Structure 1
């Protein structure tokens, strides 16, 4: 059997590799040409719409930045109006503060507008103009744009202002949704509702509500103390931890035991 010389095999390998390299180069050139043709075709078809979208996006972004700057400027003006009104109130110029807040309070929505309205209502109440104060409180309470906590506060202030002229059923209907443990104004609203229950002769409901208020650790201590006393009068135990209560009141346990023993002896 005849063997092929090594040098001839080497020439064939070189020739094969050279042909493969030329084919690969040709394929790359064809692929580049196709890609370039696709790009030109794509740009011809979509170039203008894409450019329009890009311009529109840039315009929208510029408009947003302008709107944001206007909003920030408006917020600064509103804050300055509130601070200026507070300064007037602290100086005793409540009438001037009331007038300065009129424009801001007349705006739709916004926390600053609601705060201005509440301040005007407070000034009107302070001046004895309960009708004007009540009108403003009712307006805030019915303002869907206001924060829920501010609406609840306005409703509570309005009922407090008109409590003596309202029917007990009206008071309960207005404040019962607020007289629920966990609500921001539970203690204040609950106390008014409990007294309305008493006016209706519902001693059990009043006692239970007073007991809940007395046990509410988030409520003002003055209201909790009154509720504890009222619950006791109505025969409801509102004290969960006697030792904690004595510590709150600054009373030593020995002193309390001694007073109790003396009372029993008498």
Structure 2
């Protein structure tokens, strides 16, 4: 005879709810370092800001090369293509200065996307070599160049702010990037994160929390960026989790992994 299903008692249902809550909390706490657990929001924001800027600079460093391939469809640009590819090969080999020098002539010419990509790469190399002022100026020049492709100009603006974030007035960060920090914009995540950090610097925690939550909920946002934005939104008292079960699954947390499930405490 088949065994009849057991109906959970009120105490069992309460225990299951407690385990679920513990799992949710653990999923978030796993992403937050010790300083955050101790409530040192300012210290975390300072460290997080530097890490964010560094991450954005590094993650976007290769994007100019991708945009180059996207724009290089004309066979007549073969020589320019070879120049850019040769410079990228030098950069990938660790010969940054050689790549920088190879791009000088093309960057100084008026050849549309090819020259714009050369300028982007030279600015990126300057940034990686620690020549921050030079990099910021080069990114700004490209961002203001109306002859350059719009996507490259937007990317250059983000990289300009990312490279110079530590020395910029937060109000200037917001002014430069707010047009890009809107859901639906291809650069919403990267621009929005920098704007939210600027809001924190200004003491506008409510605006920062709301923007972090938007970034975390945007479908097109990369998972690593979603995770950081979710952390910050949570710290600022904003719920950025739309699907708790999906988050727990993403974090690899099961009921058996929680302290409550491992001993009923």
Identify whether the pair has TM-score above 0.5, normalized to the shorter chain. Answer: yes
Specify every segment of 5 or more residues in structure 1 that has no aligned partner in the other structure, as ranges: 1-70
- Counterpart-to-counterpart distance in 2, 1:229 and 1:72: 47
CA positional deviation for 1:167: 0.8
Asked if the contact 1:109/1:146 (under 8 Å) is kept, the reply is no
Q: TM-score, normalised by structure 1?
A: 0.67
CA RMSD after TM alignment = 2.1
Could you say which structure has the higher helix fraction? 1
1:171 aligned to which of 162, 170, 173: 173
Which residue of structure 1 aligns with residue 85 of structure 2? 83
- Structure showing greater radius of gyration is 1
Match of 1:240 in 2: 242
1:259 Cα deviation from its structure 2 partner = 4.2
Distance 1:144 1:109, change over 3 A: farther
Q: Does 1:154 align with 2:156?
A: yes
CA apart distance, 1:255: 3.7
Quote the residue 1:49 is aligned against. none
What do the CA deviations read for 1:93-116 (whole angstroms, capped 9, x no partner)? Answer: 221111110111112251111111
Counting only pairs closer than 5 Å after superposition, residues 1-266 of structure 1 correspond to structure 2 as 72-73=75-76, 75-252=77-254, 254-255=255-256, 258-259=258-259
Distance 1:260 1:179, change over 3 A: farther
Q: Specify the alignment match of 1:39 in structure 2.
A: none
**Cα separation, partners in 2 of 1:259 and 1:151, compared to 1, 3 Å:** farther
Question: How many residues were matched structurally?
Answer: 192
In the alignment, the residues of structure 1 paired with residue 260 and residue 225 of structure 2 have an alpha-carbon distance, to the nearest angstrom, of 25
Q: In structure 2, the residue corresponding to 1:164 is in which secondary structure?
A: helix
- Give TM-score, length-normalised by structure 2: 0.68
Distance in 1, Cα, partners of 2:260 & 2:190: 32
Q: CA deviation at 1:158?
A: 0.6
Change (3 A) 1:211 1:145: same
| Cα distance between partner residues in 2 of 1:234 and 1:81 | 48
CA offsets, 1:55-109, max 9 Å, x none? xxxxxxxxxxxxxxxx843x01100101111122222222111111011111225
Deviations 1:143-193 (A, max 9, x none): 111121111110111111111111111111111111111111111111111
